[in-house]
């Protein structure tokens, strides 16, 4: 059995079916359960959080906030080399994201008129860091650092406790490196509820960012509007475009790197070389058999692994634009020359050596990316996600006398005589 399903790139119907199959709506049953969790946390606060932690995480805790003593104990368990590597990764992420900062502007027009835009950081942001299958220190860095660089002063982090009621040492290490001061031991939909509504212990935030399971995603969906959110992210995905010179071992390894996340992860290979696809297929079987997450990898590849044989690299890129993947690797000669042809991708990785793992952990670009084809209109997490823009406008009396009748004319056309009157009382127009 082949691990990658073959799709004819010229079969538009099959391709469209594949693309539609990757899109997923929220599960109504999950939304119903999450809605009940949100309502209870909203009404009962900390009491509900303690109860849900006991119910879902199978641990009874007495304090939600991670104390300084607990942080010190966790950090003592972390190897110094890991702390050093996390610090260097943080420096790379910081250097990249600092270039995203924007300033406001002011436009001065005719005498007596000026207008502009102010850019201001959000006051308080909540960062959700998952537990479950693994601990993700990179999630801490990628979500916290852009917020800090943007000027957010108050960052609240939530993460599920382990069976001993403690946070993962590696999460504590990343939080230390990122400068997080307030960490709370709560996960799931109940954590999202706490951030959205506030409890006796956890303060209400203005925006919630960070990945999670279907319950976390549904909770973010339901609280959006009361607070802002980053995105509703689906399972991870990668699309690799490989030419005849691409190393099949490296291509297979990169496809596996996403497949190991989740049985629902999607791995796609596009190539203009039939032999290359066959070589990658062989490598997928060999490499996956030797990895600890073999079962997850095989389920993912068999369900959502796909290969397409194209007539050219240009056709590969055009198909990639239709798919709009989260991660796009251009494992081709002179990869930079093809970059301008790429219109839809969360993040692009250029050349034979640039595996997606570099972006996940160390390179500096953000790994919080749009999934499920939303790269057609959505962007990677950035400093822009942690600021708001507010306009301002000034008109002198002389300027209003000049433009007042024009404003009134437009208002009357819309049937909004009150708007016109607000001008009229100022200019005395009869």
The answer to whether residues 183 and 223 belong to one domain is: yes
Answer yes or no: is 346 within a domain.
yes
How far, in Å, are 37, 60, 190 from residue 41 at the CA level? 6, 17, 7
The answer to whether residues 143 and 239 belong to one domain is: no
The answer to whether residues 51 and 10 belong to one domain is: no
Which sequence positions are flagged as catalytic? 326-327
Give the DSSP letter of residue 78.
S
The answer to whether residues 182 and 55 belong to one domain is: yes
Answer yes or no: is 168 within a domain.
yes
The pTM of the full predicted model, rounded to 2 decimals, is 0.94
Residue 395, pLDDT > 80, answer yes
- Placement of tokens 């793992």 in the chain: 357
Query: With bands split at pLDDT 50, 70 and 90, how would you rate the model's confidence at 22?
Result: low
Residue 286, pLDDT > 60, answer yes
The answer to whether residues 285 and 319 belong to one domain is: yes
Of the residues 364, 388, 412, the one at which a domain ends: 364
Domain that holds residue 267: 5-24+234-364
Position 3 scores a pLDDT of 87
| Residues 183-194 pLDDT 10s | 999 999 999 999
Answer yes or no: is 389 within a domain.
no
| Residues 52-61 pLDDT 10s | 999 999 999 9
Query: With bands split at pLDDT 50, 70 and 90, how would you rate the model's confidence at 134?
Result: confident
Position 15 scores a pLDDT of 75
CATH code assigned at 14: 3.40.50.1980
Average pLDDT over residues 113-125: 98
Answer yes or no: is 73 within a domain.
yes
Average pLDDT over residues 416-426: 97
The answer to whether residues 9 and 33 belong to one domain is: no
The answer to whether residues 255 and 136 belong to one domain is: no
The answer to whether residues 60 and 83 belong to one domain is: yes
The answer to whether residues 305 and 422 belong to one domain is: no
How far, in Å, are 33, 252, 377 from residue 346 at the CA level? 31, 21, 10
Of the residues 229, 258, 274, the one at which a domain ends: 229
Of the residues 229, 250, 285, the one at which a domain ends: 229
Instruction: Detail the DSSP E strand segments found in 101-180.
Output: 105-108, 113-121, 124-128, 154-159
The three state secondary structure string of 213-224 is: CHHHHHHHHHHE
Answer yes or no: is 288 within a domain.
yes
- How many residues would you count in the chain? 430
The answer to whether residues 35 and 181 belong to one domain is: yes
The answer to whether residues 38 and 18 belong to one domain is: no
Answer yes or no: is 112 within a domain.
no
Number of domains present in the structure of the chain: 3
Answer yes or no: is 375 within a domain.
no
Residue 14, pLDDT > 90, answer no
Query: Pick from 52, 75, 96: which is nearest to 183 by CA?
Result: 75
Position 210 scores a pLDDT of 96
Residue 263: how many other CB atoms lie within 10 Å: 17
Answer yes or no: is 413 within a domain.
yes
Average pLDDT over residues 337-349: 98
Position 97 scores a pLDDT of 98
Across all residues in the chain, what is the average pLDDT?
Answer: 95
Query: Pick from 146, 237, 161, 160: which is nearest to 192 by CA?
Result: 160
The answer to whether residues 219 and 336 belong to one domain is: no
Query: With bands split at pLDDT 50, 70 and 90, how would you rate the model's confidence at 381?
Result: very high
């Amino acid at each position: 059995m082949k691990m990658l399903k073959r799709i004819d790139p010229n079969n538009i119907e099959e391709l469209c079916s594949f693309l539609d199959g990757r899109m997923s709506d929220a599960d109504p049953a999950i939304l119903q359960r999450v809605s009940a969790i949100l309502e209870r946390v909203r009404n009962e606060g900390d009491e509900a959080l303690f109860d849900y932690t006991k119910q879902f995480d199978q641990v009874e805790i007495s304090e939600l906030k991670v104390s300084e003593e607990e942080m010190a104990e966790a950090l003592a368990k972390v190897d110094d080399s890991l702390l050093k590597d996390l610090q260097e990764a943080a420096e790379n992420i910081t250097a990249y994201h600092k270039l995203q900062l924007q300033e406001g502007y002011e436009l001065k027009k005719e005498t007596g008129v000026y207008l502009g835009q102010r850019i201001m950081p959000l006051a308080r942001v909540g960062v959700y860091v998952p537990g479950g299958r693994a601990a993700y220190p990179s999630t801490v860095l990628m979500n916290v650092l852009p917020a800090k660089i943007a000027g957010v002063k108050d960052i609240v982090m939530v993460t599920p406790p382990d069976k001993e009621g403690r946070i993962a040492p590696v999460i504590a290490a990343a939080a230390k490196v990122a400068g997080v001061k307030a960490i709370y031991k709560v996960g799931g939909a109940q954590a999202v509820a706490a951030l959205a509504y506030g409890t006796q212990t956890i303060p209400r935030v203005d925006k919630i960012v960070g990945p999670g399971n279907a319950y976390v995603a549904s909770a973010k969906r339901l609280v959006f509007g009361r607070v802002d959110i980053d995105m509703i992210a689906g399972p991870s995905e990668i699309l690799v475009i490989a030419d005849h010179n691409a190393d099949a071992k490296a291509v297979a390894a990169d496809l596996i790197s996403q497949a190991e996340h989740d049985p629902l992860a999607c791995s796609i290979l596009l190539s203009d070389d039939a032999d290359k696809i066959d070589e990658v297929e062989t490598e997928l079987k060999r490499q996956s058999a030797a990895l600890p997450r073999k079962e997850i990898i095989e389920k993912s590849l068999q369900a959502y692994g796909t290969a397409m044989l194209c007539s050219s690299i240009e056709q590969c890129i055009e198909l990639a634009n239709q798919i709009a993947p989260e991660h796009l690797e251009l494992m081709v000669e002179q990869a930079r020359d093809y970059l301008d042809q790429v219109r839809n991708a969360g993040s692009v990785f250029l050349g034979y050596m640039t595996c997606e793992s570099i972006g996940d952990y160390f390179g500096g670009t953000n790994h919080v990316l749009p999934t499920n084809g939303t790269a057609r209109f959505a962007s990677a997490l950035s400093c822009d996600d942690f600021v708001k823009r507010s306009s301002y406008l000034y008109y002198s009396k002389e300027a209003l006398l000049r433009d007042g009748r024009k404003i009134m004319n437009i208002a009357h056309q819309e049937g909004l005589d009150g708007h016109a009157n607000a001008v009229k009382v100022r200019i005395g127009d009869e």
